[in-house]
Structure 1
Amino acid sequence: MEHQHNQKDNPLIHDLMMKGFIYTTLHHLSWPQQTLTVENGLVLRFYHRGMLSITPAQYKGDSATVISVGVHGDETGPIELVDKLVTQVLSGEVSISHPCLFIFAHPDATIKKQRFIEQNLNQLFEMSNMQIRGIEGEIAAKIKDVVELFFERSSGKKRWHLDLHCSSRPSQYPVFAIRPATRHQSGSADQELKYFAQHADVQAFLLCHHPSYAFSWYTGEYFQAKSLTIELGQLRALGENDLSVFSSFLSGMHLLLNRNEKLDDVNCMDQDIAVYDVVDEIRKQHPDLAFTARQALINFEPLYLNQEYGIQGGVPMICESGGYALVFANDKVDVGQRAALLVERIR
């Protein structure tokens, strides 16, 4: 990959510096693979469209961070937030202490104002030898290749990945995190995740106990990264998001990108974070699946003991605990797809 120092005539770097990450990703359909050093010493590496790493001129240690958005193309709030973050890093307003990879995963779906084009990209990050199928399959393969290359020179315990999303439904917690279940879970890793959550004003943690094929699971499972899926507010059209409501989360990302060897609790607020376990992953097994409880309209809204909250295959779905709630309830998904998470607050 060619390394260039003079970018005056490079339209890709010109638009990135002057118009931002969103504009450059949406308007440049092809990103030639190249490495560039800009005037302030930052080293930019272009992998594929929407995949950009930024490395400080000098750094110590072997940390690395991935920030991804647009895995679902219509989730525009996080895309706009990371556009702002990339601009802050490029301008020097925000310092980074180590290599950082920014991924805008599915720009074509964003242009079409769709979640995806053929299939859900966030269910395609499974085994490395999976068959590549369709548009989203090709995107997943590229992302996995780039992440593997990016993480090569870093240490597993010093890798982080935040995959940013937003929900189609309102939530009791406007900002909440999902920790995937991986073979590398540990108490010390969870403690660092907690510190980040406190710094970033994350209001709730959702703990998964079974593997999934989501992007955050992939980086945690295969690269030992401290990985989270973060849900930031609700769906809005591109350009209509109020980023001020995520100012605390943005500050948390600033801290993460400029960390030393690890995050700690220095200057960390003693914030009470709600913690939930995933009790069940509800799959749509019959076309008649319907969520009948009004609580299904709001993530984390508590169900009542013995309340019917849905019907599937003609059989009522009954809440067996007063501490249960639904998250991501959507009975319109295709048969075989996840329709909701049934969760229980544990603290």
Structure 2
Amino acid sequence: MHPALLLVAFALDGPAAPSRPLSEPEAAAAVRDAWDDLVAECRAGSLKERGAKAIQAGGETLPFLERTFGKKPKGGHALFISLHGGGGGPAAMNDGQWRNQIRLYEPQEGVVVAPRAPGNTWDLWHQAHIDPLLDRLILSYLVDGTVDPNRVYLLGYSAGGDGVFQLAPRTADRYAAASMMAGHPNETQPDGLRNLPFSIWMGGDDAAYDRNKIAGQWKEQLAALHEADPDGYEHKVVIYPNTGHWMNGRDRAALPWMARFDRDPWPKRIVWLQDDVTQPRFYWLEVPADQAVKGTRIVAAVDGQRIDLTVPADVVKEVTLYLSDALVNLDRPVVVAVNGAVVHEGVVPRTRAAVDASLASRPDPAAVASAALTLPASPPTEPEPAE
């Protein structure tokens, strides 16, 4: 099980959840009840971690600093997760970068959190343990209603910017927008940013590791992706001339730019490219963990009641669709085609079992499905006729 979910797994134990079909109002009530049950079970432990300013997951610890700005809106504060720079060097250097990071950004409204990376290597924010730690950090702000789940933002400077380049495409479904300051993408690609507004802030003279040149290349890549898919790949790239690695605070413009966006947890089109740290779930799609392989690319598109999936069937053998009335009308038949062949046609019932499975997969109150459908990635072959 994903380490971030260990806190909430026991909330879904007990008698088997009923699988009878639910109406849309019954399903909405089931989602609320399931979330309330989870909160009742895990709230005390989660708030204890937050009070200690140290999140635990997978044997790693994520200390963090926090500042709150403005009056809390009815739906909850915005949450800005701000990743520090530094990287390979002594702990004292990274501690200094961490303490500086919490002072860099002051939104008009929101909670700013600066986590301290568990290690002191160059790839502070690249490693696999970062994903569940940040998931659990976000959850700690959701269980008491402090934060709006659709207004969580990711940003980072220098090595923290490297982390944003890595984390944003592979965990885009957690965030409403992301901003990268003065970092380097390494091997990562922008495909997964289809539904995540993404901004780049760079000094024009920041030539170490060709950061400035690569920022210009990403500007071209993002523009090309947006031109080919005008409803996706919202982006902003600012390269300040005659400016080095430190941008003298001009990158603070990223926060009001990000705050314009709310997350859509049920996008009609998904582009999912697995990076070197893989994910079993992305938005409303899930694959078995052993089939989440680096380099595999799945595209999903919803048109009315039809869902088309393009799946590398040589690697991914099955796909689970977590469905909601926010995505399709679950009172009507749903058609699903995989690689052009229809593999399902019919009503997908709303059930409490689907609600619980979705919540166990991703403890996010805005992304809970009320129906689930697991399908083969390849349609069954027709038997050869007998001679």
Alignment TM-score > 0.5, same fold? no
TM bucket, shorter chain: 0.3 to 0.5
TM score, norm. by length of structure 2: 0.30
TM score, norm. by length of structure 1: 0.33
